[in-house]
Structure 1
Amino acid sequence: MVFMDLLNKTIVFSGHFETMTQEQLAKLAVFVGVIPRETVSGITDYVVVGAMYGDLFSPPTTEKLKTANTLNIPLISEVDFLNYVVSVWQRRLSSMSIKQIDAG
């Protein structure tokens, strides 16, 4: 995974996610300083893509992905987004540990 800094970036979730619902992912995004939105627009920085399901005759996609493609908005996977969340938590915990050692 390439490190991304999503702090204060606007993201949209699209598709079905394995770990939690889009609503839960949006709450998690806010917790780590990311701005979730429901629709893709010119201010969207990234679209986080979950599983896509299509029929036998058409490739799987969503309207959000079609719009992101038209606007050249980068896509990131559910795993990459969750790895970003974990890295933010690790930095916060590390910072708290250092502060506790300094205070001790």
Structure 2
Amino acid sequence: MTFVLSRRAFTLGAALLATGVGATRAFAQQAFFRIGTGGTQGTYFPVGGIIANSISATGPAGVEGLIATATASNGSVANINAIQSGASESRLHPVRRRLMGA
């Protein structure tokens, strides 16, 4: 039994393969940006979500190739530890504590 590949099948297969290669390159160029916030019931988590959505938006509003997420945490100290360990790239922190020296 011989297998004959038609021109149409070959073209379709080549197009699908090229699409898959392009998709792999597109995903390889994406970077992730995690924002440590606070508990899901507090105010920092929703604010972090809004910031993450703005960064991840398509078009001129967002940053191309960057996917941001807001991650819930146990607060400021946990956020600092997450950055030091590489589990997060950014954090939300109350400014009043910084200004008051705490």
Same fold per superposition (TM over 0.5): no
Tell which structure's C-alpha radius of gyration is larger: 2
TM-score (norm 1): 0.28
Hey, which of these two has a bigger chunk of helix by percent?
2
